[in-house]
Amino acid sequence: MKIAYVRSYTSTDYHNAKASSDAIGYGRTCSLVLERELGKLPSTELITVATPDDVSLERTSWNMRQIAQLIDVVKRDKIDAVFLFHSTTPDAAFVRRNLDEIGFQGALVGYTHGSHWDPSDTFRHDNHPKLKWEDLGLLLSMDRILLASEYIRTRIAASVQAEAVGALSEFLTNSRVVGIPIDIEGIDRNRELARSASPRLLFNHSFVSSKGADEFIDMLPVLLEQNKALSVDITRAPIPGSQTEGRLRTVCSKYGQRVRVHEGLDPSAYASLLWQCTHQVSTATHETFGVATAEAMAAGVACLVPDRAVYPELVGSSTKEAIYDPSFKLQRLTEWLAMDEATRRDIATRQYNSVRSRFNGRAVAAAVGEVIRECILT
């Protein structure tokens, strides 16, 4: 089968035209891993649609260029399926319209990585409050909808059922859970020989409201006072001028180099940092898969996760002791940082093995390829 692979839009950071570290997960590392591994599947020819080179392009201009490139590929080659890594960039419904207009008879398959109508997805509610039906339209314009977890499939189904029963039936019929590949090769390529001997806490989530960065920042003074050996690494910078930035600046000014904010890390530097950290915590209220946490697990970091969103599914049965009740987050995180090294290493090893076996590129690509092949044959 011949697949046209359409990459996702990768935003720039807040300060210049570098690819944003906020987009490393879905937009860059995960997508490139899946692209590479899909191309290795038996009897599969993968044609990557050329991506606009200018990373400073705003989203609409980027999408228009990408769709134009896709149509050229479909016209030129005998494509069996078009694969979108993200249903909104480029817009799946607009892709469908353009494919229909040139008489494309193949399959349109793609991921959704979120939900406009799920109450926990505060970023979408805050920034795009009128787009919940547009988002549903994007999903139903595809022949198969890929999701990273059972959790998000269930959440979307419940939300759609409350609004449109007919749409629910179509969504359930066409959706498949396949996971998301993390860049294990890239993580291993940048492995550090020595992990920190003292506790080094990682926060590698974005600063959108649903990721709980403010909760994390509020806990830092207590944690740093309790454990004088503790240092903290934050991989992404908050939005300039925001209240969150001000609160973080206050903590940094008091504790100096014990709190390091890394801005604009490239994938290699990011992976290297993962190997140096010992502990990670997630405070999100909304998470469809948990790329940041999965990447930390794949680097041997012991990860503490809340008992909500996708996290219990991500951790699985391998380390149930790593799941906490958010009502007791400070207490549990204090205990997490205080556990002895043998216990930390045992938990980290189980998480390491679990995430690498389930979310490596080969396994996820095989699942995606099976869905595409099934769609072509029906």
Q: pLDDT digit string (tens) for 284-322?
A: 999 999 999 999 999 999 999 999 999 999 998 878 899
pLDDT band at residue 20, thresholds of 50, 70 and 90? very low
Q: CATH number of the domain at 2-181+360-377, please? A: 3.40.50.2000
User: Do you find a cis peptide bond into 306, omega within 30 degrees of 0?
Assistant: no
**Identity of the amino acid at 364:** V
Enter the DSSP assignment of 209. G
pLDDT of residue 14: 47
Distance between CA atoms of residues 42 and 369, nearest Å? 10
Cα Rg, the chain, nearest whole Å: 21
Average pLDDT, the chain: 90
Cβ contacts of residue 149 below 8 Å, gap of 6+? 177, 179, 288, 289, 310, 313, 314
Entry pTM: 0.89
Question: Taking the domains of the chain in order of start, what are their residue ranges?
Answer: 2-181+360-377, 184-358
Q: Phi and psi dihedrals of 212, rounded to 5? A: 75, 30
Residues present in the chain in total: 378
Fold identical between 2-181+360-377 and 184-358? yes
* 56 pLDDT above the threshold of 70: no
Structure tokens at 311: 């996290």
Distance between CA atoms of residues 26 and 10, nearest Å? 9
Topology at the third CATH level for domain 184-358? Rossmann fold (3.40.50)
Distance between CA atoms of residues 314 and 322, nearest Å? 11
What proportion of the chain, given as a percentage, has pLDDT over 90? Answer: 69
What's the half-sphere exposure (Cβ side, CA atoms, 13 Å) at 289?
24
